[in-house]
Chain A
Amino acid sequence: MREAEVFETVVKILTPHAKNQAALAGVKMDTNILDDLKVNSARLVDVVLAFEDAFDIEIADEEVDSVNTVGDCVRLVLAKAS
């Protein structure tokens, strides 16, 4: 799976949860999910489950602790899918 593909899917999953549409328009690998995109932390579970379904992977609770940016998500998915 290519990084660009994963990035695109990750952004698509984050889109309905992002309250800051301006940040979403210019989303990059170092965009912070909670601080920049303003995704409600309570919605994080839904986001993670959507990643699991979209990429057919299983993400442990502890792995979510180290996810802050869109790039963290992409790298985590790539590591899990490989």
Chain B
Amino acid sequence: MGLPFLDRLGLLVQREVGRLLGPIWIPVGGAVLRWRYGWRILDTSAARREFRRLRRESSAPLLVCANHLTMVDSFLIAIALASPWWYVLNFAALPWNTPERDNFSRTWWLRIATWVMKCIPVERGGDRREIGRVFERFSWVLSRGDVGLIFPEGGRSRSGRVDADASTYGVGRVVKALPGCRVLCVYLRGEGQTTWTAAPARGERFRVLFASLEPKTEHGGMRGSLAITRQVLTRLAALETEWFDARQ
């Protein structure tokens, strides 16, 4: 992959700093979610088992794709897939993600925190070349064995439900750039969550569903990227139906 040297160096430094500080920030982050906000993810054992199996069975790139309702989803999904201390010992498994730059650049400490926490910020709707560079950097860290997390809808679900027809292509672009890339679809939703918000309600209890797939397409170019993204979104929409059916 033709990522410029300085970009590669920057990502390696970012990853190493995050890893060295991991024994502090990862457990603290987990504790804040649990004790400060009272958020609990129920029945994580199956999802965690599947995540460990996928990590163990192959060194092919692994991309986590999830529904998106709040700005803290990436933290919650990470915790749904493994315990904080497991991530300290398996730092490569802690997913990189691409948060909206505007949401996490308001203060200097937030910028530092997101940098340490394996984030590659993206300006949605911004300069196409810059967005393309974010995808290249994101794909590069996955090609080296780290896990990545993307929200295929490209933003929080404005209807509160997965938009399986969203015209986005980011997931497909990453999958196509990484031969053999596997996708773990994760559907996480709080029992009281009815729509998208900045953060879940205090004390929210979440339930998680998951499905693995290796999306494929015979199309090339952007049509192929869109087809792959649609496969992932369709699977997420099916998980959503399953999630609501189980609540009835």
Contacts and interface: CB of A to CB of B under 8 A. Distances in A.
A58 B221 contact: yes
B129 A59 contact: no
A52 B226 CA distance: 13
A66 B124 CA distance: 16
Interface stretch (B13-21, B109-117, B167-175): B167-175
A64 B222 contact: yes
Interface in A19-40: 34, 40
B222 A34 contact: no
Interface residues of A, number: 21
B222 A42 contact: no
B226 A65 contact: no
B145 interface: no
Nearest to B155: A42
Contacts of A41: 124-125
A5 interface: no
Contacts of A49: 222-223, 226
Interface in B150-200: 154, 166-169, 172-173, 176
B124 to A, nearest CB: 7
Q: What secondary structure prevails in chain B residues at the interface with A?
A: helix
B128 A65 contact: yes
A52 B223 contact: yes
A58 B173 contact: no
Given A42-B167, A45-B169, A46-B167, A58 B223 contact: yes
Contacts of A52: 221-223
A60 interface: yes
B128 A42 contact: no
Residue picked from A42, A61, A64, A66, most chain B C-beta under 10 Å: A61
Interface in B113-153: 124-125, 128-129, 131-132, 135
A59 B221 contact: yes
A65 B222 CA distance: 11
A45 B128 CA distance: 12
B226 A45 contact: yes
B168 A61 contact: no
Nearest to B176: A61
Nearest to A59: B221
Given A59-B222, A61-B222, A34 B131 contact: no
A70 to B, nearest CB: 14
A61 B129 contact: no
Contacts of A60: 220-222
B225 interface: yes
A64 B223 contact: no
Contacts of A11: none
Interface of A: 34, 40-46, 48-49, 52, 58-62, 64-68
Interface of B: 124-125, 128-129, 131-132, 135, 154, 166-169, 172-173, 176, 220-223, 225-226
